[in-house]
Amino acid sequence: MGRRGGTAIDTKASAGDGQAGPASSQPDLSGFTALRSVLRIRPFRRLWIVLGVASFGDWFGLLATSLFAANQVESSAAKGAVFGGVIAVRLLPALVLGPVAGVLADRFDRRYTMVICDLLRFVLFASIPLVALFGARGGVAAGWAAIAVFLIEAITLIWLPAKEAAVPNLIPRARLELANQLTLITTYGLTPVLAALVQSALDAIVRRLSGAEPAELALYFNAFSRLATAIVVFYGIKEISGRTADEHRSEQGMLRQFVEGWRFIGKTALVRGLVLGIFGAFAAGGIVIGTAPFFTVSLGAGQAAFSLLFASIFIGLGVGIGLGPMIVRELSRRRWFGMSIVLAGASVLVLAASIHLSMAILGAVLVGAGAGMAFLAGTTLLGREIADDVRGRVFAVVQTGTRVVLMLAISLSSLLVGVGGSRELRIADLGISVSSTRILLFVAGLCGILAGISAFRQMDDKPGVPVLPDLWGSLRGRPLSPAEPFTRDGVFVVFEGGEGAGKSTQVTALAETLREQGYEVVVTREPGATEVGARIRSLVLGGSAGGSGPSPRAEALLYAADRAHHVATVVRPALARGAVVISDRYVDSSLAYQGAGRTLPVDEVSWLSSWATGGLKPDLVVLLDVDPAVGLTRAMARSGAADRLESESVAFHERVRYAFLDLAAGDPKRYLVLDAAQPLEALRVAIADRMAQLIAESDVTVDGERPEPPAQRELSDENLTSIVDGELERRR
């Protein structure tokens, strides 16, 4: 069993990761209030505006450079070669300069790095149409366009990590996700649409009125947007530096910084998970893009269907970025990242299995939504949890790697898509085309799912907390809490059951057996094991059914209060020193009595108990099952007067009984269910057998040595009863 009870969580991550509970530092802001809270920060507001303009220029000039270069030659074959060549050149710098770009971003003042890069890009963008303006035509102009694009992309590789690493210095950690949302929606949602509309309008108006090339205007606009960015960053956002290069960093060589950056990525589970997940998502996305034109053919659709699928991916991207945080709410961002990649991968499988365009569109939207949520979560985690002195190198690895992975995935999938041809599989009256395109999409979906699962396992900050209940609780605003970390060498056993099941008898018998073997045994109960608990017990059990006792919700809260104090002051300390803790009732009693019996929402009672106990679960739950009619008769004979719960109706106790049985059926490895109508000795033997197995697997020791498993002491029913009578008298 070892040292159990949870894993230490990075306090920095917990403080800013949107976790529920009192420690959350994120203010309760939403909608326009939250938006104003970010835009009220002047340095970020200025940066967001100029980056929005620059992003518009980038989208506006994305194809302008290639179109301009293609227009410099005459033949159709040459135009196609030049157009594709200039596009390909945009990806080459990632292979050449990518590995060292992050070192430059971390080594020098980021404000000056961004300003110098933007000034160089201004000159290069403006030079492309100027070369043609001053008489250079044909291959010279096209060649210079390719060279300029190569240089621009190389400079961008330095500018991007400097910008990404600097933004967290402008924004409080609690508002970083919202700032990333705003930036990503502007960059990938608003400006592409606006650029497309402006491009269409210019193409129709400029050519008709003046005969000029719209591509040249786009290049000039892109150039001056970079000049504007440089001016604003230099004069208006001095805070963007965050820090200047310290002496240690300036004394290190670039090679040393490069090696340290990669070593940091390799040894940090969070960064490894992020990099692996992002690369897997981009590989799957690249295969989707590379196979999309051929996939639409297998659906019996044409070029318009390809455009529709492409647009659907961007619509999903915007939905994921814009609405994702509002949907998952307080879910751990580390978990959200892995789940989003799994969603994107599973959606690619939907695409692969699509037999109609409408199904393919749904799959494309979900692919985009998963990718958008993963992109937002990953960017936020990198900015929030990575130290400032290595942040630029980590961003550079991610940005360079995604470009390379995307390029390879698109290229390889396009080459392989024709292999194998296409066959039609008849299912009823449906004609399904089984082609290499669908096989590649299927492989891409599996790769995305595996990458998401692997990233989730490396990054999970709530080990032991079930994923789907945590997601469902987060959607409802009540995420599950991870177990509080503590050294746990003892064994925790809980006895549960309805009234008159004989729990006290078996608790006392087991404790006596274990003590004779030399184990430290702590016998406790709920409610009432502490002074605070005794006062709570009088509140919840005093009176009669329907009397002046607490309301059902108040009753649940009182039990949770007793449990929180009980675990903190009795159970955890005993487990930490290696004792065997035997408790008469625990969390399951609240789920059965307040959940099923009082008909309160069981998931709410479960969340409340989990929060109160810090996620502490027993190693074994012994459930003594008894018919309510029999158990209530026993209870009355034992005490002579019914307490508030014993006075409830038989129907109430029937609901309690079946709730206990349902809980046991849901986790059979941790439960021992016994028929309480059996003889006391038979029950004792069964419990002792299971306890012997449990202790043999544990770290419990006697005087520092592991003893033999507890023996099964021969006890008669009469002896058991006398032991219980003595224990009850001691409690009184």
Q: Which parts are annotated binding residues for ATP?
A: 497-504
464: left (phi over 0), alpha (psi -120 to 50) or beta: left
Residue 194 CA to residue 55 CA, distance in Å, equals 11
Using the 8-state DSSP alphabet, how is residue 174 labeled?
Answer: G
Residue 354 CA to residue 345 CA, distance in Å, equals 14
Are 557 and 608 spatial neighbours (Cβ–Cβ below 8 Å)? yes
Phi and psi, residue 620, nearest 5° = -145, 135
Annotated binding site: 497-504
Residue 89 CA to residue 65 CA, distance in Å, equals 11
Are 458 and 269 spatial neighbours (Cβ–Cβ below 8 Å)? yes
Are 566 and 533 spatial neighbours (Cβ–Cβ below 8 Å)? yes
For CA atoms 593, 597, 600, 601, the dihedral sign is positive
Between β-strands 491-497 and 620-625, what pairing exists: parallel, antiparallel or unpaired?
Answer: parallel
DSSP string covering 393-457, please? HHHHHHHHHHHHHHHHHHHHHHHHTTTT-EEEEEETTEEEEEEHHHHHHHHHHHHHHHHHHHHHH
Residue 427 CA to residue 639 CA, distance in Å, equals 69
Tokens of 337: 């990242």
Residue 21 CA to residue 467 CA, distance in Å, equals 18
How far the first Cα of the chain sits from its last, in Å, is 36
Q: Which helix (H) or strand (E) holds 180?
A: helix 176-185
Tokens of 118: 């933007």
Which residue, 696, 455, 614, is CA-closest to 6? 614
CA distances from 662 to 168, 612, 657 (A): 48, 22, 9
SS3 category, 719: helix
- Buried-exposed string 140-171: b where 16+ CB fall within 10 A, e elsewhere: ebbbbbbebbbbbbbbbbbbbbbbbbbbbbbb
Residue 270 CA to residue 657 CA, distance in Å, equals 44
Amino acid at 418: G
Phi and psi, residue 478, nearest 5° = -135, 75
- Buried-exposed string 178-211: b where 16+ CB fall within 10 A, e elsewhere: bbbbbbbbbbbbebbeebeebbeebeeeeeeeee
Residue 410 CA to residue 8 CA, distance in Å, equals 41
Q: Which residues does 119 contact at the CB level (< 8 Å), separation at least 6?
A: 226, 227, 230
Residue 394 CA to residue 267 CA, distance in Å, equals 13
Angle (CA) 126-130-133 rounded to 5° is 155
Which residue, 565, 564, 570, 571, is CA-closest to 493? 571
Amino acid at 93: P
What is the number of residues in the chain? 732
Which residue, 362, 365, 367, 361, is CA-closest to 347? 367
- In 268-356, alpha helices (H): 269-298, 303-328, 333-352
